[in-house]
Each structure stands twice: as C-alpha cells, then as structure tokens.
A and B are shown apart, each in its own frame.
Chain A
Amino acid sequence: QKEVEQDPGPLSVPEGAIVSLNCTYSNSAFQYFMWYRQYSRKGPELLMYTYSSGNKEDGRFTAQVDKSSKYISLFIRDSQPSDSATYLCAMSAVNTGNQFYFGTGTSLTVIP
C-alpha cells in the first residue's frame, strides 16, 4: 500500500465550478499536510500548508484535514482557467525524518 493515495484524474470542470481534490494516507504519524500546484514544465508551488487537523482558508482555496479518517481535501471555489494544473498533496512527520510523501498528483482542467 502506498503511503499516500491520490486520484490522478484527469478532472475537467467548467469555469466557476467548485473543485474538490482529495488524498488519503496510511501513516497516522503524519502531522504536516501540504497542497502544491504544478504547472506544466514548472516546479511545484506551495498553495496551502496545514498542521494537524482542521480547516484553513486562503482566498478561493480551502484545505481540510481529517486525521481520524486519514483524509485531506483541497477545495477551489469559483475555479478559473488559470487554475488548470496538476495538484499534488504532500505530508510529513517528524518521526519519518521530515521526508515528504507525495500523492501522484491530480490533473485539473478548468474549461472557459
């Protein structure tokens, strides 16, 4: 079983839709949860960072962490064509040497 599971998509939505991206994980020790956005041929860009459980909101983006279910989500409201990218979840724990464990990434296309 992989440490982190993420549906690779592709996911295609119309402009203005609410997008829900999800990852599940198996290691209950994970404490830090991140979402990265990666445009084609570019390095990943940090979007959201959450410690432990709870919600975090930043503009059109909301990250949720449910540690009891080992499930994290990223919601994008009022999606825009510029949101078209691959979204990677990542997580880490101090007792794993701070190594990041990445999902495979979900490819999102927002259609104008």
Chain B
Amino acid sequence: GAVVSQHPSRVICKSGTSVKIECRSLDFQATTMFWYRQFPKQSLMLMATSNEGSKATYEQGVEKDKFLINHASLTLSTLTVTSAHPEDSSFYICSAEQGSGGETQYFGPGTRLLVL
C-alpha cells in the first residue's frame, strides 16, 4: 500500500515558538494532501486541504495565519504552527490522496505536539 511519512513524530516546544511538521508521500505523487487534528478519543477534524502549487483551503474556524500550509511539491506538504500556545497541543495527522477521484487517502503516523 501507499506510504505516507510524517516528521517529527513528537515535538515539545515552548509557548510562542513555531513548529514545522512535514508530510511526505513516499511512493506516489499526491496532488492533494490533507491536514487533520485529533483530540483524545475523538475523530479526525479536517483543518485544511493542501493542493500542490496553490493556496491551501482552510476549514471554517481554522486560522490560516496560525496554521501555515505549504505544498511545494507532489510529495511534500508542510504545516507550520506559528506562535504556538498550550491550546495548540494536539495530535496532527496528514494524509495524501492517491488518485484524483476522491478514492482514498493514506495517512501519516501523526505528530504529537506539546506546547509548554
């Protein structure tokens, strides 16, 4: 199956700093990648849809100036949490779409962010 990697897997940072999370599709090209946030014992909450070469589409309630998304190539999307605060602590998961017809998404292993 298709493989998606995420780096780092875990990060601890001080309040006010910025954190960058990378999402890579290792064995396929992904025109579209997605960023999700997951709280404990809850389902995935879509934050934004990232399309290669264009601006990301953010879901309602997600601050685009705080969660910067860049999709510079067909295999890499990055999420930068700017000026992180403790309430940003969460599990962030990316996924990459294989195919262009809404067929399926393959998820990365997730990044656990803890802001102190």
Interface membership of B106, Cβ < 8 A? yes
User: Distance in Å from the Cβ of A98 to the closest Cβ of chain B?
Assistant: 3
**CB<8 Å pairs between A and B, sample of 22:** A31-B102, A32-B102, A32-B103, A34-B104, A34-B105, A41-B91, A42-B110, A43-B108, A43-B109, A44-B44, A44-B93, A44-B107, A45-B107, A46-B105, A46-B106, A88-B44, A93-B102, A94-B102, A99-B49, A103-B43, A104-B42, A105-B42
Query: Are the CB atoms of B102 and A41 closer together than 8 Å?
Result: no
Q: Give the residue of A42, A44, A92, A105 whose beta carbon is less than 8 angstroms from that of B102.
A: A92
User: Distance in Å from the Cβ of B33 to the closest Cβ of chain A?
Assistant: 12
Query: Are the CB atoms of B43 and A88 closer together than 8 Å?
Result: yes
Count of residues in A whose CB is under 8 Å from the partner chain: 27
Query: Are the CB atoms of B101 and A94 closer together than 8 Å?
Result: yes
Q: Determine the residue in chain B with the shortest Cβ distance to A93.
A: B102
Q: Determine the residue in chain A with the shortest Cβ distance to B112.
A: A41
Count of residues in B whose CB is under 8 Å from the partner chain: 26
A99 CA to B50 CA, complexed, in Å: 12
Main secondary structure of the interface of B (DSSP, over half): strand
Q: Which 9 A-B pairs have the closest CB atoms?
A: A98-B102, A43-B107, A92-B102, A43-B110, A104-B43, A43-B109, A44-B107, A102-B43, A43-B93
A104 CA to B41 CA, complexed, in Å: 9
A31 CA to B103 CA, complexed, in Å: 9
Interface membership of A25, Cβ < 8 A? no
Interface membership of B1, Cβ < 8 A? yes
Query: Are the CB atoms of B107 and A49 closer together than 8 Å?
Result: no
User: Distance in Å from the Cβ of B60 to the closest Cβ of chain A?
Assistant: 13
Q: A32-B103, A34-B104 are in contact. Are A46 and B44 (CB under 8 A)?
A: no
A103 CA to B45 CA, complexed, in Å: 11
Interface membership of B6, Cβ < 8 A? yes
